[in-house]
C-alpha cells in the first residue's frame, strides 16, 4: 500500500483543520508509534484489551474524541471491539456504533486507504443518507481500512464530536501506520482465533463432564433441588461467572400445547436454586438467603417478559450500557441485582413448547457471551427441562401410587372392620344360642323338677295305708314345689310388668331397722346347714324410708338368696345400711357383702341381664333361672334407685373374693 488514496464524502468547502498533526515528527514519531502498537499487540493476551490500548494511542495521536477498532465480519468467530474516548462521560457504546460503522465501511472502495467524512449529518452519498443510526453527537468520521488480499479484515474509526475537514497530514500519518496496524491487527485476530479455539476446547470438555454429571444425576434418586444446584454450579464454574440461578414459573392457568400466545400469561417466578461465588467481598451468603425466598409475578419484570416472548432465543447483556439500551431498566425484579452483576445471560427452560422457567447467569463485571458458551447453556437448559419434567412425572406417578395404596389400605381396613364386625356378630349369635340352650335347659329343669316332685307326692298320697306323718310330709313337699312353680311364673310375670312400666307402685313408710332384723333372722335359720352367718350393721335408732314394701322385700330376699348360694361355707354375710344426708342428697345406701368364688370382670358386664348365669353354675348344680338379679335391678330402678356390684380378692385367700352389691334408694320417694 504505497499509494495513498482517500475516499471522501464531504459537504463542506475545504477549510483549515481544527486539529492538526504538525507537532509530530513524521518519520521518527510515527515509527515509534508503530513500534508501540506492535508492542501492545504482542504483550497482551487479551485481544479486546490490546485493541483498547491501540485505540487510545491512535486517538491521542490524531487528537480525536473517540476511536473504535473492529474486525470485519467473519475474521473472528466472536465480535471483538476496542474503544477509547477522550471524555468517558460523553462516550457512546461501541455495540451501538458497531452496525453503523460496518455499514459505513462497506462503502469503502477496494484497496482505498481512507474514508473521510467531514460532516456525517450532511451527506449526499446515496448509500449513506440513512445517518439515523449514528448518535447526533458524532459529526465527523475517519475510517482506516486494513486490507489483506483484497479483503477487508479490520477497520479503525476515528470519531469527532465537531465537524472536521480531514487533511493530507492525517491521511499520510494513517498511511505510514498502515503496515504496523496491519501486522498488529492480524496478530490479534490470530490470537483471538487461538483463544477462541482453546476456549471452545475447554468449554467442550467442561460441557461433556457437566452433561455426564447431569445425566447420571437425573437417572439416580437425587432430589430435583440437588440436580438443579449441580447444574447451575457446574455451568457457572465452567463459564467462570459470578452467579447463577434458576427461576421456575408457576402458571395460574394451564399452558396448552400448540396454543397461540395472544397475551402474556399470568405466572409467578420463584428462585428454585441459586449459586454464587464470593467476589470482591460480596456477601454471597446473606444475599443467597435473602433472594432464595423471593418470588415475583412475571408482569413485574420486563426482562423475564422479554425472555418469555423471545423463547427459545436467549437474552445476552454484556454490560450496564446494553441493559440501558434495552429499555428494561424501569421494570426489573430486584433479585437480578444489576448493580452488583451488570452482565447477564438469560435462557428459557422449555419442554414441548412450554417455558418452565429461566436459567440466569450473571457476572460481577462486563462480559461478552460467546457462541460456544450459549451452546453449553442451551444443552444444560435442555437437561434441566428434562429433569423437571421427569421429576413432575415421578411425583404424579408417586401420587397416583400413594392414592391407590391409600385406597387399598382403606379397603383392607373396611374389610378388616367388616370381618371383625361379622366375627363379633357370630360370637354374639353363638353366645345367644348358648344362652338360649342354657335358658331352655334351666327352664325345663326348673319347670319339670317341681312338677315331678308334685307328681311323686300325689302318687304317694294315693297309696293305701299311708301314715299321717308321711301324709303330712308329702303334703309339705307338694306345697313347697307348688310354691316354687308359682314363684317362677310370678317372677316372669313381674319382670314383664317392670320392663313394660306397667307395675303398680304402692308407697309405704317402713322402718328399715325392723325390716332388716326380721329378714336376717329368717335367713339365719335357712343358712344353718351351710354354716353361714349374717351380720347386720345398721343405725341404732329407727331409720324410716318411703318405698314400696313388697318391692323392697323382694330385692333383699333375692340378694340374700343369691348370697347364700354363692358364699363359701362357714363365712359371714354382712348387710350394712347407712343414711347419707347433705344439701343435695337424702338417700339410703344398703351394701350386701359375701365371701365366695367372686364374679369376674367379664361376667359383671352382663350379670343383671335376663337368663344370664355365671360360668360353671350349671355344672355345680346351683339352682336358679338367671332371673333373680335381673328382677332385682328392675325393682331397684322401679324404686328410683341404683345398684352396682364389685368383686375383689380378700386378704385372707387369693381364691376368696368379697362380692359387694350396693343399692342406693331415696329415703323419700319422688315420682
107 neighbors 128 (Cβ within 8 angstroms): yes
277: phi then psi, degrees, rounded to nearest 5: -105, 135
Architecture of domain 221-369: 2-Layer Sandwich (3.30)
Q: What is the pLDDT of residue 617?
A: 54
- CB atoms near residue 124 (< 10 Å): 9
Q: What is the pLDDT of residue 253?
A: 80
100 neighbors 68 (Cβ within 8 angstroms): no
Low-confidence stretches of the chain (pLDDT beneath 50): 1-6, 8-20, 22-25, 127, 129-131, 258, 260, 279-292, 619-621
Tens-place pLDDT, residues 209-248: 777 777 776 666 678 888 888 888 888 888 888 899 999 9
Give the 3-state secondary structure of residue 575: strand
Question: Please, which residues bridge with residue 537 across strands?
Answer: 576
CATH topology of domain 6-197: Beta-Lactamase (3.30.450)
CATH 1.10.287.130 residue ranges of the chain are: 394-502
Give the 3-state secondary structure of residue 292: coil
Integer Cα distance of 554 and 519 in angstroms: 11
CATH topology of domain 507-666: Heat Shock Protein 90 (3.30.565)
Tens-place pLDDT, residues 262-316: 577 888 888 888 898 864 444 444 444 444 457 888 888 888 888 888 888 898 8
Helix H, strand E, coil C: the string for 44-73 is CCCHHHHHHHHHHHHHHHHCCCEEEEEECE
Quote the cell numbers at residue 480: 313347697
> Which helix (DSSP H) or strand (DSSP E) does residue 195 occupy?
helix 168-219
Query: If you ran DSSP here, which 8-state letter would residue 656 be given?
Result: -
Asked if the 394-502 domain carries CATH number 3.30.420.10, the reply is no
18 neighbors 31 (Cβ within 8 angstroms): no
Integer Cα distance of 8 and 18 in angstroms: 18
What is the pTM for the complete model shown? 0.46
Q: What is the pLDDT of residue 623?
A: 59
Helices (H) and strands (E) in the chain, counts: 14, 19
Q: What is the pLDDT of residue 77?
A: 65
Q: What is the pLDDT of residue 284?
A: 46
Q: What is the pLDDT of residue 433?
A: 85
Question: Please, which residues bridge with residue 574 across strands?
Answer: 535, 593
Q: What is the pLDDT of residue 169?
A: 82
Integer Cα distance of 583 and 365 in angstroms: 91
Angstrom distances, CA of residue 575 to CA of 176, 284, 429, 593, 636: 140, 88, 39, 7, 17
Among the listed residues 116, 174, 107, the one whose alpha carbon sits nearest the alpha carbon of residue 146: 174
Tens-place pLDDT, residues 571-608: 999 999 999 888 778 899 999 999 988 888 888 887 88
**What is the CA 55 to chain-centroid distance, rounded?**
59
Query: If you ran DSSP here, which 8-state letter would residue 622 be given?
Result: -
Query: If you ran DSSP here, which 8-state letter would residue 654 be given?
Result: T
Integer Cα distance of 142 and 218 in angstroms: 57
Among the listed residues 327, 121, 349, the one whose alpha carbon sits nearest the alpha carbon of residue 227: 349
CATH 3.30.450.40 residue ranges of the chain are: 6-197, 221-369
Amino acid at each position: 500500500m504505497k499509494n495513498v488514496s482517500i475516499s471522501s464524502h464531504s459537504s463542506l468547502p475545504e477549510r483549515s483543520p481544527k486539529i492538526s498533526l504538525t507537532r509530530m515528527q513524521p518519520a521518527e514519531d510515527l515509527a515509534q508509534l508503530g513500534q508501540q502498537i506492535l508492542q501492545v499487540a504482542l504483550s497482551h493476551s487479551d485481544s479486546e484489551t490490546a485493541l483498547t490500548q491501540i485505540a487510545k494511542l491512535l486517538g491521542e495521536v490524531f487528537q480525536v474524541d473517540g476511536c473504535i477498532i473492529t474486525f470485519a465480519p467473519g475474521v473472528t468467530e466472536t465480535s471483538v471491539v476496542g474503544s477509547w474516548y477522550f471524555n468517558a462521560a460523553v462516550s457512546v457504546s461501541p455495540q451501538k456504533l458497531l452496525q453503523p460503522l460496518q455499514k459505513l465501511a462497506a462503502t469503502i472502495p477496494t484497496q482505498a486507504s481512507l474514508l473521510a467524512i467531514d460532516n456525517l449529518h450532511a451527506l449526499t452519498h446515496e448509500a449513506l443518507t440513512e445517518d439515523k443510526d449514528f448518535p447526533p453527537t458524532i459529526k465527523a468520521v475517519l475510517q482506516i481500512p486494513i486490507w489483506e488480499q483484497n479483503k477487508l479484515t479490520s477497520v479503525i474509526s476515528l470519531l469527532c464530536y465537531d465537524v472536521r475537514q480531514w487533511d493530507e497530514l492525517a491521511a499520510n500519518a494513517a498511511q505510514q501506520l498502515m503496515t504496523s496496524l496491519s501486522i498488529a491487527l492480524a496478530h490479534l485476530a490470530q490470537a483471538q482465533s487461538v483463544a477462541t479455539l482453546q476456549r471452545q476446547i475447554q468449554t467442550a470438555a467442561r460441557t461433556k463432564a457437566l452433561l455426564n454429571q447431569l445425566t447420571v444425576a437425573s437417572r439416580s434418586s437425587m432430589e430435583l433441588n440437588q440436580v438443579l444446584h449441580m447444574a447451575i454450579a457446574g455451568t457457572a464454574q465452567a463459564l467462570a461467572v459470578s452467579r447463577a440461578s434458576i427461576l421456575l414459573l408457576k402458571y395460574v392457568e394451564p399452558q396448552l400445547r400448540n396454543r397461540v400466545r395472544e397475551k402474556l400469561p399470568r405466572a409467578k417466578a420463584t428462585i428454585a436454586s441459586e449459586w454464587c461465588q464470593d467476589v470482591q467481598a460480596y456477601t454471597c451468603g446473606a444475599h443467597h438467603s435473602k433472594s432464595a425466598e423471593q418470588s415475583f409475578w412475571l408482569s413485574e419484570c420486563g426482562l423475564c417478559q422479554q425472555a418469555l416472548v423471545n423463547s427459545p432465543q436467549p437474552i445476552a447483556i454484556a454490560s450496564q450500557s446494553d441493559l440501558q439500551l434495552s429499555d428494561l431498566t424501569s421494570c426489573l425484579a430486584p433479585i437480578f441485582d444489576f448493580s452488583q452483576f451488570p452482565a447477564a445471560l438469560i435462557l428459557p427452560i422449555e419442554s414441548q413448547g412450554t417455558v418452565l422457567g429461566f436459567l440466569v447467569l450473571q457476572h460481577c463485571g462486563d462480559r461478552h457471551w460467546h457462541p460456544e458458551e450459549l451452546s453449553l447453556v442451551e444443552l444444560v437448559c435442555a437437561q434441566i427441562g428434562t429433569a423437571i419434567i421427569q421429576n413432575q412425572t415421578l411425583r404424579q406417578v408417586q401420587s397416583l401410587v400413594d392414592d391407590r395404596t391409600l385406597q387399598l389400605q382403606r379397603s383392607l381396613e373396611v374389610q378388616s372392620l367388616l370381618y371383625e364386625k361379622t366375627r363379633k356378630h357370630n360370637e354374639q349369635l353363638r353366645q345367644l344360642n348358648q344362652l338360649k340352650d342354657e335358658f331352655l335347659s334351666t327352664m325345663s329343669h326348673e319347670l319339670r323338677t317341681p312338677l315331678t316332685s308334685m307328681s311323686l307326692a300325689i302318687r304317694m298320697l294315693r297309696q293305701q295305708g299311708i301314715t299321717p306323718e308321711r301324709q303330712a310330709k308329702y303334703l309339705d313337699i307338694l306345697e313347697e314345689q307348688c310354691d316354687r312353680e308359682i314363684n317362677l311364673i310370678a317372677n316372669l310375670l313381674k319382670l314383664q310388668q317392670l320392663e313394660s312400666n306397667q307395675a303398680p307402685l304402692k308407697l309405704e313408710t317402713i322402718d328399715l331397722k325392723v325390716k332388716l332384723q326380721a329378714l336376717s333372722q329368717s335367713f339365719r335359720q335357712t343358712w344353718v346347714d351351710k354354716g353361714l352367718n349374717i351380720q347386720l350393721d345398721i343405725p341404732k335408732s329407727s331409720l324410716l324410708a318411703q318405698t314400696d314394701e313388697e318391692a323392697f322385700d323382694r330385692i333383699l330376699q333375692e340378694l340374700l338368696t343369691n348370697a347364700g348360694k354363692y358364699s363359701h361355707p362357714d363365712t359371714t354375710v354382712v348387710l350394712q345400711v347407712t343414711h347419707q344426708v347433705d344439701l343435695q342428697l337424702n338417700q339410703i345406701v344398703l351394701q350386701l357383702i359375701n365371701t365366695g368364688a367372686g364374679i369376674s370382670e367379664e361376667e359383671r358386664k352382663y350379670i343383671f341381664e335376663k337368663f344370664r348365669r355365671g360360668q360353671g353354675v350349671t355344672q355345680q348344680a346351683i339352682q336358679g333361672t338367671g332371673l333373680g338379679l335381673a328382677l332385682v335391678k328392675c325393682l331397684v330402678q322401679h324404686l328410683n334407685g341404683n345398684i352396682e356390684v364389685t368383686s375383689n380378692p380378700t386378704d385372707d385367700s387369693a381364691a376368696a373374693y368379697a362380692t359387694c352389691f350396693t343399692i342406693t334408694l331415696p329415703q323419700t320417694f319422688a315420682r
